[in-house]
Amino acid sequence: TPPDSDSPTIFDKIIKKEIPSTVVYEDDKFQWKFFIHTRTRAACLFLYFLESRLFLHVNMPTVQKIFKCVLAFRDIQPQGPTHILVIPKVRDGLTGLSKAEERHIDILGRLLYTAKLVAKQEGLDDGYRVVINDGPKGCQSVYHIHVHVIGGRQMNWPPG
Ligand code: 5GP
């Protein structure tokens, strides 16, 4: 059964680099909505100012985390020559797609767009499969929403 929405998953350790993974993409888009949830608008504006003025010259890993919201890494049990997982770095209640709310629309779009970017980066020009498993009957095993990008071989339909 799915855990409650606060329980950590293995992906939290991957995000914190406590467990090694092969990262293939990490974005650098500033996510206003995530930041406004946890900080004041003033701090938000201040950091936005810092980002626009300083980030071209200064590498600040802790601050950068706020600006990078999507991570893509190779699946440890690949179901094809290419198998990548795309996840939000802040789960924000999105244990699975079935928990999506209006506030998640931006991140959901970004996850799918990142799936397209990594597929292109991997050279999957003849096609690929994008999957979100949800809940026990959808064979979901990690309760931190993730998009599978699988390719490099002929996929079958229906999946079974
Ligand atoms: P789900 O079954 O929830 O849709 O997919 C979870 C995926 O996470 C599985 O394909 C599984 O192989 C992958 N996975 C589980 N633990 C790890 C891990 O520690 N590292 C990586 N890279 N992938 C993992």
Kindly state if the Cβ of 21 falls inside 6 Å of ligand 1: yes
Tell me what pLDDT residue 72 has: 97
42 alpha carbon to ligand 1 midpoint, in Å?
A: 38
Q: Model pTM?
A: 0.81
- Is 148 catalytic? The answer is no
- What region, left, alpha or beta, does residue 7 occupy, with left being phi > 0 and alpha being psi -120 to 50 degrees? beta
**Alpha carbons 66 and 34: distance in angstroms, whole number:** 8
Tell me what pLDDT residue 43 has: 75
Q: Which CATH architecture has domain 11-25+70-151?
A: 2-Layer Sandwich (3.30)
Kindly state if the Cβ of 10 falls inside 6 Å of ligand 1: yes
Domain residue ranges in the chain: 11-25+70-151, 30-67
CB atoms within 10 A of CB 30: 17
Tell me what pLDDT residue 56 has: 47
**Alpha carbons 67 and 148: distance in angstroms, whole number:** 23
The answer to whether residues 146 and 87 touch, using CB atoms and an 8 Å cutoff, is yes
Q: Is 68 exposed, middle or buried (0-12, 13-18, 19+ CB in 10 A)?
A: middle
Kindly state if the Cβ of 131 falls inside 6 Å of ligand 1: no
The answer to whether residues 149 and 119 touch, using CB atoms and an 8 Å cutoff, is yes
Tell me what pLDDT residue 29 has: 55
- Choose the residue to mutate in 24, 77, 111, 132 for probing ligand 1, maximizing ligand atoms within 8 Å of C-beta: 77
104 alpha carbon to ligand 1 midpoint, in Å?
A: 22
The residue whose CA is least distant from atom 21 of ligand 1 is 76
Positions of the chain with pLDDT lower than 50, given as ranges: 56-66
Beta-strand relationship, 23-26 and 128-131 = unpaired
107 alpha carbon to ligand 1 midpoint, in Å?
A: 20
User: Positive or negative CA dihedral for 131, 135, 140, 145?
Assistant: positive
Q: Is the ipTM value over 0.90, yes or no?
A: yes
- Summarised one tens digit per residue, pLDDT across range 110-137 is 899 999 999 999 999 999 999 999 999 9
Closest atom of ligand 1 to 141 CA is 3
Helix (H, G, I), strand (E, B) or coil at 60: coil
Helix (H, G, I), strand (E, B) or coil at 81: coil
**Alpha carbons 125 and 118: distance in angstroms, whole number:** 11
Considering the candidates 104, 144, 146, 148, report the single residue annotated as catalytic: 146
What does the block give as tokens for 59?
Answer: 């590498």
